[in-house]
């Protein structure tokens, strides 16, 4: 059984609750440290959450955006996570361009992971990492049985992804575990089977300690 599991009636309720948690976390971090480092998830589940943040009372000048993972595709490719986040949120809020920490995924996973790890090392830790879950129990681009699971760097190169494209970059467990908060968003009927297996005690990459789960399943 998961600790810190919050069940919701709908995907919309998940998005609304998580958006409010982000707003609260941002306010607390900015009040305490003057900055809020937020790592965003890709995929379809968090898009509605990001759209809700467009009108949020957040001091965007003090927010830094990071990406939980990225697909090794050309800059501007519609399948890239940063393009989705741009459309859903970043192009609608007054966040400084140099506070958006994009990956160099277009240069391949090795170069991108090395550069991102160096950038992350300049930050004490991320304040909040938002994660989604795939139908196989992966999170970010940390897939079951992939060698990236055991990579200790802050950002890791991912090869042979079971979902295209096969090359990616992901936050490593080192960065995720070091974050002050971790929120898992789990929606979509196709994920119910794995979610039920997790509830029965099976292990999957998304099972990261001290995480707050929000699900509509």
CATH of the domain at 127: 3.40.50.1360
Average pLDDT, the chain: 97
Number of domains, the chain: 1
**For the chain, percent of residues with pLDDT exceeding 90:** 97
Residue 200 has pLDDT above 70, yes or no: yes
Residue 1 has pLDDT above 70, yes or no: no
Segment 72-101 shows an average pLDDT of 98
Range of the domain at 190: 5-215
Residue 160 has pLDDT above 80, yes or no: yes
* Nearest 10 degrees: Cα torsion 64, 67, 68, 73: -170
Residue 35 has pLDDT above 90, yes or no: yes
Q: What's the rounded Cα separation, in Å, for the pair 53 and 215? A: 19
Q: What's the rounded Cα separation, in Å, for the pair 182 and 92? A: 25
pTM score, whole prediction: 0.97
Q: Residue 185 forms beta bridges with which residues?
A: 132, 214
């Amino acid at each position: 059984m998961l600790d810190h599991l919050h069940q919701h009636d709908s995907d919309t309720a998940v998005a609304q609750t998580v958006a409010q948690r982000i707003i609260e976390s941002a306010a607390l971090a900015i009040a305490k440290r003057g900055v809020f480092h937020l790592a965003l998830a890709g995929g379809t589940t968090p898009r509605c959450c990001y759209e809700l943040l467009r009108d949020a009372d957040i001091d965007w000048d003090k927010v830094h955006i990071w990406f939980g993972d990225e697909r090794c595709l050309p800059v501007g490719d519609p399948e890239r996570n940063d393009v989705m986040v741009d459309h859903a949120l970043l192009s609608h809020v007054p966040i400084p361009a140099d506070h958006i920490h994009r990956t160099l995924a277009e240069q391949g996973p090795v170069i991108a992971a090395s550069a991102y790890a160096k950038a992350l090392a300049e930050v004490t830790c991320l304040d909040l990492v938002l994660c989604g879950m795939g139908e196989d129990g992966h999170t970010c681009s940390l897939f079951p049985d992939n060698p990236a699971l055991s990579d200790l760097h802050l950002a890791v190169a991912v090869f042979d992804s079971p979902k295209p494209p096969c090359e990616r970059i992901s936050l490593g467990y080192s960065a995720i575990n070091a974050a002050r908060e971790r929120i898992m968003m789990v929606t979509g009927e196709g994920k119910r089977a794995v979610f039920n297996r997790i509830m029965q005690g099976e292990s999957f990459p998304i099972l990261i300690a001290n995480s707050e789960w929000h699900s509509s399943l």
